[in-house]
Structure 1
Amino acid sequence: MTDMPPIARTPADLPSRDTLLSMSGLEFMQKVLAGDLPHPAIAGVMGCRITEVEPGRVLVRGTPGFQHTNPFGAVHGGWYGTVLDTVLGCAVMTGVPQGRWYTTLEYKVNITRALPVGMEVEAEALLDHAGRSTAVAHGTIRGLEDGKVYATGSTTCIIMA
């Protein structure tokens, strides 16, 4: 995996609510991608980073390590879920207008095969709908080495003022 981007290490590293609300979600995501705003702390914990942002589409790359395994040594299902929740939420964020914000109402994960520890993946999410009060997106996790789908997911989010 390439160098990690700037990651928030303390609450003081996070942008203020006024900063967040002063720009559209797309502008916010573009600033995170550019390194003008830090990736959230969870990105460091999960070993992932945003690599592309465009309206309605976000890519995240990550590599599960041994610290992400279950008692059997397999990548824990929570890793798939957290990476998908991240990329799905980021895709939703690209459709959030200035002065608003979102949070996840629900998300669903389907793990299609076991992901080898240490395999870099790319998670892609596409925004299906962004309305006045809700947004829906879907996504996949694919191995970069083999192109196989390791998990799929979807989300419904609420958009708030």
Structure 2
Amino acid sequence: MAERKIATSPDDLPSKEEMLNISGLEAMQRMLRGETAGPPIAGTLGYAISEVTDGRVVFSGAPDFNVTNPMGTVHGGWYGTLLDSCMACAVMTKVPKGSTYTTLEYKINILRPIPLGMKIEAVGTAQHVGRSTGIAIGEIRGVEDGKLYATGSTTCIVMKLR
């Protein structure tokens, strides 16, 4: 498996022109293979891309103390960011060359607290991606216990730029 790179400056990320010349699936596969850098938010929050297929993206990670709230439990924003990432990237795998996308809205349901340091997987699955919108669902599960910790859904806008 290739070493995953995380962007540390804007110059580390692919240019807009590069991104528009490949499909969303190819962009995600390049990131998985370590050919292009992943977004800095992944390094900040302790997760990384681990699987990419057409319509499905998996991120793996483990929450650390730096993502806790004042009560010492994992902040809801960590769940939300991880679910937004996996769901939107699942939509991205269906976006054609010459187009881009962004999240319009997302919703999450936190079912139980994730213990600090526990390995999880966040799986995003595209349900529909058309000319102007994409819809996906996501879930966070414990790797070892298989328990469902959170679910989410998203709607993304798809924009043809060429």
2:36 counterpart letter in structure 1: L
* DSSP 3-state at the match of 2:95: coil
1:87 counterpart letter in structure 2: C
Counterpart of 1:12 in structure 2 is 11
In 1, are the aligned partners of 2:3 and 2:33 still within 8 Å (CA)?
no
Counterpart of 1:121 in structure 2 is 120
In 2, are the aligned partners of 1:134 and 1:158 still within 8 Å (CA)?
yes
Counterpart of 1:152 in structure 2 is 151
1:110 counterpart letter in structure 2: N
Counterpart of 2:102 in structure 1 is 103
**Once the 2 structures are TM-superposed, how far is the Cα of residue 5 of structure 1 from its aligned partner?**
1.6
Q: How many residues align?
A: 160
2:125 counterpart letter in structure 1: L
After superposition, residues 10-159 of structure 1 pair within 5 angstroms as 10-159=9-158
1:63 counterpart letter in structure 2: A
Unaligned runs of at least 5 residues, structure 1? none
**Once the 2 structures are TM-superposed, how far is the Cα of residue 4 of structure 1 from its aligned partner?**
6.7
d(CA) in 2 for partners of 1:73, 1:118:
13
In 1, are the aligned partners of 2:7 and 2:38 still within 8 Å (CA)?
yes
d(CA) in 1 for partners of 2:76, 2:55:
26
User: TM-score w.r.t. structure 2 length?
Assistant: 0.96
1:74 counterpart letter in structure 2: T
d(CA) in 1 for partners of 2:73, 2:3:
24
**Once the 2 structures are TM-superposed, how far is the Cα of residue 80 of structure 1 from its aligned partner?**
0.3
2:65 counterpart letter in structure 1: F
d(CA) in 2 for partners of 1:78, 1:10:
23
Unaligned runs of at least 5 residues, structure 2? none
d(CA) in 2 for partners of 1:145, 1:21:
38
2:43 counterpart letter in structure 1: G
Fraction of identical pairs, as percent: 57
Q: CA RMSD in A?
A: 1.3
User: TM-score w.r.t. structure 1 length?
Assistant: 0.97
